[in-house]
Structure formats: C-alpha cells, structure tokens
Amino acid sequence: MKVNIAVADQSHFKYAEKIVEMMEGSSKERGTVLAIRTPEYIKDKMENHKAIIALDEDGTIAGFSYIETWSHTKFVANSGLIVAPKYRRSGLARQIKRRIFELSREMYPYAKIFSITTQLAVMKINNELGFKPVSFSELTSEQEFWEGCYGCPNYDILQRNDCKICLCTALLYDPSDEKKQQKQQEI
Ligand SMILES: CC(C)(COP(=O)(O)OP(=O)(O)OC[C@H]1O[C@@H](n2cnc3c(N)ncnc32)[C@H](O)[C@@H]1OP(=O)(O)O)[C@@H](O)C(=O)NCCC(=O)NCCS
C-alpha cells in the first residue's frame, strides 16, 4: 500500500463527503475529540489550498487535515487531523502533520501555530515539530474558534470555564522562539 500526501485542491472535491463521514465515525470512538465539518467547509479548504490530503494509490482516502487562521492571521490552527482506521499506526498522521505544519509555515511564516488535542499521538508529533504545551490563554481569544468545539462531549466543561480550561491540551509553535534560540547560540 502506497499512500501519497499532497496539498489538496479542487480535484479532491469528490472526497469531501467521505472525509466528513470519517470525521463522524471517529467522533464516536472513545476518547476522540474532533470537530465535525460540512462537505462545503472541506471543499472551501481544498479550493484555498489550506488542507493536506493522503490518498492510497487505489484512490481510497487515507487521511486529512486542514488549516484555519485566527485573530487576523496572528494564529494558525492545524486542525481536523484524521487517519482512516485501516491506515493507522503506520506513521501516516506524522507525515500529514509534518506537511500541514510546513504548509502553515510557508503560508503564514509569522503566525503562531497551534493545535488542541486529547490524543497522545498528536502530542508526540507536535512535540517533535517544536510545539510546546501552553494554557488556553496563550491561544486565540476569537469566540468563533471556541464555538468550533460545539458538538464535543466536553463542550459544557469549556463553557463553564470561560474557554480557558478543558480536557484538551493546547500545543503552540511560536516562530519567535526559533529566533531567540538562534540568538542565544550566537552569544
Ligand atoms: C490520532 C490519529 C490521527 C493517529 O494516526 P496514526 O496514523 O495512527 O498515527 P502515527 O502512526 O503517525 O503515530 C504517531 C505516533 O503516535 C503513536 N500513536 C498512534 N496512535 C496512538 C494511540 N491511539 N495511542 C497512543 N499512541 C498512539 C504512535 O505509536 C507513534 O508514536 P511512536 O513513533 O513513538 O511509536 C488517528 O488515530 C485518528 O485519526 N484518530 C481519530 C481522530 C483523532 O483523534 N484525531 C486527532 C484530533 S486532535
């Protein structure tokens, strides 16, 4: 099985409904917290080249993730990571995460990049990419982002805590950290 990973475009519109089905299926798995999107939303991401798609050579959809921008592109969220059950535990999420991270850096080099997750796999991969755990107060305060959590079984916890605390861990990549490190190494 050979899986190809690419920046999505309009030629991938035909996969939008299947991606939503995968999201719906995964959200029923124990411990999974994933925002369900509409096929239109997925197509918009594809059309604007703000998504990574993984396709098996036989054309089966194997994985997906997309980019959202917040606070006037001060923040970029790498969201909606999904790998179809058949393709899990073979390093595919790591490859998709790397590509969506690279794409985010190319498109928004000055943005802080973040993910919120309950998944150990995502924590591991983001740690490898230079993300650090932070409190929710370090992320976008844009209400629309947090409204995206509506539908999560833990949404009441988030609301009760004024969008400052929930069960997800927030992971943040700050491009200015790299510059600080470079300066320290030069001293
Ligand atoms: C989470 C998910 C994306 C992982 O995909 P995957 O392709 O199986 O992950 P990878 O094979 O790239 O694994 C990356 C690392 O995470 C580990 N890992 C993967 N799944 C794991 C799990 N369920 N529990 C603990 N560790 C896990 C792997 O062992 C690997 O670590 P290692 O290199 O140290 O061995 C996939 O299980 C999925 O789609 N889940 C449902 C949707 C979801 O939860 N998305 C995340 C939303 S934030």
Q: Residue 77 and residue 88: Cα distance in Å, rounded?
A: 22
If you average pLDDT over residues 59-87, what whole number do you get? 96
Residues 6+ away with beta carbon under 8 Å from 46: 8, 9, 10, 12, 13, 16, 53
**How many structural domains does the chain have?**
1
How much distance in Å is there from the Cα of 120 to the middle of ligand 1?
A: 7
- Give 30's pLDDT tier (boundaries 50, 70, 90): confident
pLDDT in tens, 101-116: 999 999 999 999 999 9
Domain containing 9 — which CATH number?
3.40.630.30
Q: How far apart are CA 37 and CA 17, in angstroms?
A: 10
32 lines ligand 1 (CB under 6 A): yes
Query: In which band, very low, low, confident or very high, does the pLDDT at 185 lie, cut at 50, 70 and 90?
Result: confident
Question: Is the C-beta atom of 117 inside 6 A of ligand 1?
Answer: yes
User: From the CB of 4, is ligand 1 less than 6 Å away?
Assistant: no
pLDDT, position 1: 75
Is any ligand 1 atom within 6 A of the Cβ of residue 34? yes
Position 33 scores a pLDDT of 78
Q: Write down the pLDDT at residue 96.
A: 98
Nearest CA to ligand 1 atom 34: 124
Identify the three-state secondary structure at position 59. Answer: coil
Tell me the per-residue pLDDT of 134-171, one tens digit each, with 9 for 90 and over.
Answer: 999 999 999 999 998 887 889 999 999 999 999 999 99
Q: Indicate yes or no: pTM above 0.85.
A: yes
Is the pLDDT confidence value at 183 over 90? Answer: no
Residue 161 belongs to domain spanning: 3-186
Residue nearest to atom 29 of ligand 1 (CA): 89
Give the Å distance between the CA of 71 and the centre of ligand 1.
29
For position 125, what pLDDT does the model report?
A: 97
Q: Which residues pair with 69 in a beta bridge?
A: 76
pLDDT at position 28: 83
State how far the Cα of 6 lies from the Cα of 13, in Å rounded to an integer.
14
Q: Using a 6 Å cutoff on CB, does residue 122 contact ligand 1? A: yes
Any alpha helices (H) in the chain, and if so which ranges?
A: 16-27, 39-47, 92-107, 120-128, 143-147, 155-160, 175-186
Find residue 101's DSSP bridge partners: none
Phi then psi for 93, rounded to 5 degrees?
-60, -40
